[in-house]
Amino acid sequence: MSEIKTVGVIGAGQMGSGIAHVVALGGYDVRLHDVSRERIEAGIAVIEKNMARQVGRGIIDDAAMKAALARIQPAEGLEAVGAADLAIEAATENEEIKKSIFRSLQPHLKDGTLLASNTSSISITRLASATDRPERFIGLHFMNPVPLMKLVEIIRGIATDVPTYETAVAFAKSLGKITSNAEDFPAFIVNRVLVPMINEAIYTLYEGVGTVDAIDTAMKLGANHPMGPLELGDFIGLDTVLSIMNVLHEGLADSKYRPCPLLVKYVEAGWLGKKTGRGFYDYRGETPVPTR
């Protein structure tokens, strides 16, 4: 197995900053990259805020937070990411964007660098084909929010070799995560089950079966879900929900995965959920208010 000491993370958004957070707390040096210095700094600020919250709750101590933050270094160029032992891509859920990132990273990679994608739905085999090392490429699907969620889905592409898989599992476990193996099928396990449920909840709203509040209340109290499906869709990001439904619909050619027209309309309107201030709930006031 490869020895991992330094981890490059491409993408300083919600998922990338969360991954950098847990990797730094795990004792690894982190090189955090995004398209601009401002985005990297914003990601590091979120990490510091979330670690401070963990300190306040007694999950970690102040010394652990300071040591972890010191391990995170901004990487404005891809050179530092390519020099890492493991590079994890955590960009938006778009296949062409992800492939473009790996192509841009390739000239900077050292021979032993392992590659991973945090994709929640896209074929690992196809992403690996855009690199010079498909045998050293794997899916590491962290759950959101990364510091709180225990699971990491491990997805092997058709060319992924055994040492890469074993290294990935050991790495995830070293972060205190529990791993689950998933085959390289559209959306893997978690999102193959979860996202169609959210899409069906949107259909339920679209067809007038219930209001936003009625649907979420019914699922929280009737199915003991901690969060209603429409609220969860807002939390994930409705653009991401739509992307995953499109991957399922195109990849499995089954009409049951057709994205709800209302989901498409919300995304077209820029109502993407919590991150934009409005989705199935309006988050711009003191408390969220249903938008339908």
Is 26 a known ligand-binding residue? no
Is 85 a known ligand-binding residue? no
Question: One of 118, 141, 243, 249 is an active-site residue; which one?
Answer: 141
Q: Does residue 123 carry a catalytic annotation?
A: no
Question: One of 123, 191, 199, 243 is an active-site residue; which one?
Answer: 191
Is 34 a known ligand-binding residue? yes
- Please answer whether residues 146 and 169 qualify as being in contact, where contact means their C-beta atoms are separated by less than 8 angstroms: no
Give the torsion sign (CA, 63, 66, 70, 76): positive
Is 56 a known ligand-binding residue? no
Is 144 a known ligand-binding residue? yes
**Which of 51, 75, 188 has its CA nearest to residue 122?**
188
- Please answer whether residues 61 and 55 qualify as being in contact, where contact means their C-beta atoms are separated by less than 8 angstroms: yes
Is 93 a known ligand-binding residue? yes
* 283: number of Cβ within 10 Å: 16
- Please answer whether residues 93 and 120 qualify as being in contact, where contact means their C-beta atoms are separated by less than 8 angstroms: yes
Q: How many Å apart are CA 10 and CA 118, to the nearest integer?
A: 10
Question: One of 120, 121, 123, 199 is an active-site residue; which one?
Answer: 120
Residue 20 tokens read as: 């950098």
Hey, is 269 helix, strand or coil?
coil
Is 182 a known ligand-binding residue? no
Question: One of 89, 123, 153, 249 is an active-site residue; which one?
Answer: 153
Is 233 a known ligand-binding residue? no
Q: How many Å apart are CA 60 and CA 178, to the nearest integer?
A: 19
Is 15 a known ligand-binding residue? yes
Q: Does residue 153 carry a catalytic annotation?
A: yes
Q: Does residue 21 carry a catalytic annotation?
A: no
Q: Does residue 141 carry a catalytic annotation?
A: yes
Is 16 a known ligand-binding residue? yes
Give binding residues as ranges. Answer: 11-16, 34, 93, 98, 120, 144, 275
Q: Mark the binding-site residues for NAD(+), compressed into ranges.
A: 11-16, 34, 93, 98, 120, 144, 275
Q: Which residues are catalytic?
A: 120, 141, 153, 191
